[in-house]
Chain A
Amino acid sequence: MIAVLIFMTAAVAISYWWLWKQKILEQPWLTEGTAVDNRDSTNLAGKSAKSGLFVFLAVVTSIFSLFISAYFMRMNLNDWLPVDEPRLLWGNTGVLALGSIAIHWTARAANNDSIATVRYGLIATGIFTSLFILGQWVAWQELVDQGHYLQSNPAATFFYLFTGLHGIHLLGGLWVWLKTTLKVLAGQNAEQTILSVELCRNYWHYLLVVWLCLFALLLST
């Protein structure tokens, strides 16, 4: 349970730090009036969507760290036979990183009000990401060809589980990407796309980091 405990410690520490900043020590019965509240109330929808996504990513991190914990615990039992990860995964990793770069670039363009770049950026993001998913699929095929089936060994099971789970999250991201792209192609201007594109950017970066962690874990064990 080490991995999930590390995550929980971080989550609890961040929450407490945040609460601290929210003046959790103040004595509310001594303060009257509204001056105590200096939150800025502009762009509430954008801020809500971003903190909603942040909380959601905390949930996803919890899921992944629990799976990783289970991985470590299961790994120590004696029927574990490590799998040779397909070399293709290196290429896939590169493609996913390109996807992240593309969406980052898109978000920057949206903020600079250049809708043409947004359009190209979104399309590039979609292509790289789809390539990644395709690549993962091919990697699965390679494993099957080597005789590593889902139930043949716990190491293989975890390989399928990790990559599959990560892939599903990316597919979910692609769904949002698709809706955004369709709107952009239908003539939305750059300002209207900022929020969606920035949410996609955060999500893509997050999933890249998750993939790097999973990949490192798979390679090293």
Chain B
Amino acid sequence: MAYVALADREPELSHPHSFITKYIWSQDHKVIAIQYGLTAIAVGVVALILSVMMRLQLGFPDSFSLISPSEYYQFVTMHGMIMVIYLLTALFLGGFGNYLIPLMVGARDMVFPYLNMLSYWVYLLSVIILMASFFVTGGPTGAGWTLYPPQAIMFGTPGVEAGIVLMLASLAVFIVAFTMGGLNYVTTVLQARTHGMTLMRMPLSVWGIFTATVLGLLAFPALLVSAIMMTFDRLLGTSFFMPAIVSMGEQSAYDGGSPILFQHLFWFFGHPEVYIVALPAFGIVSDLLSTHARKNIFGYRMMVWAIVGIGGLSFIVWAHHMYVSGMNPYFGFFFATTTLIIAIPTAIKVYNWVLTLWQGNIHLTVPMLFAIGFIFTFVHGGLTGIFLGNVVVDLPLSDTYFVIAHFHMVMGVSPILVVFGAIYHWYPKMTGRMYNERLGQTHFWMTFLGTYAIYLPMHYLGFLGVPRRYFAYEGIEFIPESAQDLNAAITIAAIFVAFTQIIFFANMIWSLFKGKKAGSNPWGSTSLEWQTPNTPPIHGNWGDELPKVYRWAYDYSVPGAEKDFIPQNTPPSDKAPETNT
């Protein structure tokens, strides 16, 4: 096993010089991070366009005939899958994980840089396979992002010819890529922390990303296993998930399999996946709030315990997605209980964020706005989650727009707000330049208010019983006419939000060339990534000597200190150290 020894005490990196080895086949975690990030954002834009197409259909069913019912299913599926896996998972772990972990723990690079590079290229392959499914006979699969059998592989579902096979293959390839990256993130945190960087001195961003990676490593296998078994059923005619079934008037060759088995496997992955996306967001948002409120994070230890506690609990709540599958009521009771228990550490985190802001010296910078916006949307989505966690409430609301509103709030909008906040926050470090403040503020307000305009009304549609995954609602008697007006309004808001993102991209690109020089630590941050000798940091990160860490990452506004922050690598002063509680 010829792993390259890295993150070592001596800077023994190879320093590539040609453009290709520096930016394409790069083993530098920062370049890989940016490759991951750009690819994820590019597919994310595809998913966004798909959602606008769906919204046009839903809002103005008679004016546009851009898509057919089959295409609607296909777009729903691809939109959901891309957003959850290929955008958010890849961006938080492959993007921010890669960029931040080595810098924040004071390492020169990931411990297995070659594997890390491979991880990106395999991820890109999975994206290509996924996108290829748009161009095969029958198009991409329309099975819904949950891919439930039997319909996922039965004739009648769009994309059953090749789309579903490509989807399963792409997921398997993605999991391989994720595992290669994940081994790196975990091992780097375990082994390559610099001197003085104990676990309890790590910034919460690292804690969030680290725990999410562990969850991913343990949970993605469930998706892999179900993908393998479904591929067998589809291609080799086995009957893991497929019951005896009549298709197109004929008895199919399948016999005796269990669709519920798939649901268990899928959600055993699916629920932790929510936290794979949420925990990095939790961590990052804690750091943004603390930095921009110039205050130490409230209850650091509780924040850490909550992260690892949520990580453990997230494996015993999966069946709250299956209340409608006809399960034993005692199971329903059990899973409702665990679901409510997991709300406790989550609520603690929310209180701590708010208490961090309390009496802070709040700078309403763009990252801070996004972080505060996150608190709103997350509380909102979290509260509806508590409702849905109860069996009796979930049964009538299941598969309605209430569910759509809930999960978009909690795992769509909230993490995306953190992604934006994080991009604005670390942009000066990644590029050496400052973004345009005015455009950033505009982007925040339009996105934040716009997404509320999209999702708040959906709760009411859900109460009316408007079902999700429907192409059109004509002739459904219990849905009043006025629901259509609401749908039209939602669509207008969605288009507005989609176009708002142009401001973001314009700002990022423009500032790359024309932005003010940022300096190495524009926010006055304590954590190590802001203390690099070069900005943007060069290959190897730290010059000749690794930084030494003397304190935790939250020494803001320490009484008696000369500045309002003390970087982690500042040695203790001679006088008796002041403590700030």
Contacts and interface: CB of A to CB of B under 8 A. Distances in A.
Interface of A: 1, 4-5, 8, 11-12, 15-16, 19, 22-34, 36-37, 39, 41, 44-45, 47-49, 51-52, 55-56, 58-59, 62-63, 66-67, 69-70, 73-74, 77-80, 150-151, 154, 157, 161, 176, 179-180, 195-196, 199
Contacts of A5: 315-316
Interface of B: 1-9, 111-112, 179, 182-184, 186-187, 190-193, 195-201, 214, 217-219, 221-222, 224-225, 228-229, 232, 236-240, 255-258, 261, 264-265, 268, 296, 300-301, 304-305, 308, 311-312, 315-316, 548-552, 554-555, 571-572, 577, 579-581
Contact of A12 (B182, B304, B312): B312
Nearest to B216: A59
B353 to A, nearest CB: 18
Contacts of B316: 5
A44 B268 contact: no
B264 A59 contact: no
Given A44-B7, A74-B261, A63 B315 contact: no
Best-surrounded residue of A24, A48, A161 (most CB of chain B within 10 A): A48
A104 B199 CA distance: 34
Given A27-B301, A55-B186, A154-B240, A1 B264 contact: yes
17 contacts: A8-B315, A11-B218, A16-B312, A22-B198, A23-B199, A24-B200, A28-B200, A32-B577, A34-B196, A34-B548, A34-B549, A45-B8, A55-B182, A62-B217, A63-B221, A73-B261, A79-B256
Contacts of B193: 39
A74 B243 CA distance: 11
Contacts of A33: 196, 550, 571-572
A8 B315 CA distance: 8
B198 A70 contact: no
Contacts of B7: 44, 48
A62 B296 CA distance: 38
B579 A30 contact: yes
Contact of B112 (A41, A47, A48): A48
B3 A179 contact: no
A148 to B, nearest CB: 13
Contact of B256 (A23, A44, A77): A77
A66 B579 CA distance: 48
Contacts of A151: 236-239
A29 B554 contact: yes
A51 B190 contact: yes
Contacts of A25: 301
A58 B268 CA distance: 16
B494 to A, nearest CB: 37
Contacts of B9: 41, 44
A36 B198 contact: yes
A70 B240 contact: yes
B235 to A, nearest CB: 10
B565 to A, nearest CB: 14
A71 to B, nearest CB: 10
A42 to B, nearest CB: 9
Contacts of B265: 66, 69-70
Contact of A59 (B187, B218, B579): B218
Contacts of B312: 12, 15-16
A67 B5 CA distance: 35
A52 B261 contact: no
A5 to B, nearest CB: 8
A59 B179 contact: yes
Contacts of B239: 79, 151, 154, 157
A31 B581 CA distance: 12
Contacts of B256: 77-80, 154
Contact of B268 (A1, A49, A55): A1
Nearest to B228: A161
A11 B571 CA distance: 37
Contacts of B261: 70, 73-74
Contact of A150 (B236, B548, B580): B236
Closest 5 CB pairs of A and B: A79-B256, A45-B5, A28-B552, A34-B196, A62-B221
Contacts of B237: 151
Given A36-B196, A48-B191, A195-B1, A74 B551 contact: no
Contacts of A70: 225, 229, 240, 261, 265
A28 B300 contact: yes
A62 B218 contact: yes
A37 B240 contact: no
Contact of B3 (A1, A30, A37, A45): A45
A32 B195 contact: no
B581 A29 contact: yes
Best-surrounded residue of A30, A62, A179 (most CB of chain B within 10 A): A62
Contacts of B3: 45, 48-49, 52
Contacts of B1: 49, 176, 179-180, 195-196, 199
Nearest to B110: A48
Contact of A24 (B2, B214, B304): B304
Given A24-B301, A63-B221, 5 more contacts: A5-B316, A24-B200, A29-B579, A48-B7, A179-B1
B308 A16 contact: yes
Nearest to B312: A12
Contact of A55 (B183, B222, B225, B264): B183
B111 A48 contact: yes
B552 to A, nearest CB: 4
B115 to A, nearest CB: 8
B105 to A, nearest CB: 12
Given A24-B305, A70-B261, A52 B552 contact: no
B183 A29 contact: no
A51 B191 contact: yes
Nearest to A43: B5
B218 A19 contact: no
B252 to A, nearest CB: 12
B258 A73 contact: yes
B217 A67 contact: no
A12 to B, nearest CB: 4
A37 B198 contact: yes
A37 B217 contact: no
Contacts of A78: 256
A47 B7 CA distance: 12
A176 B1 CA distance: 6
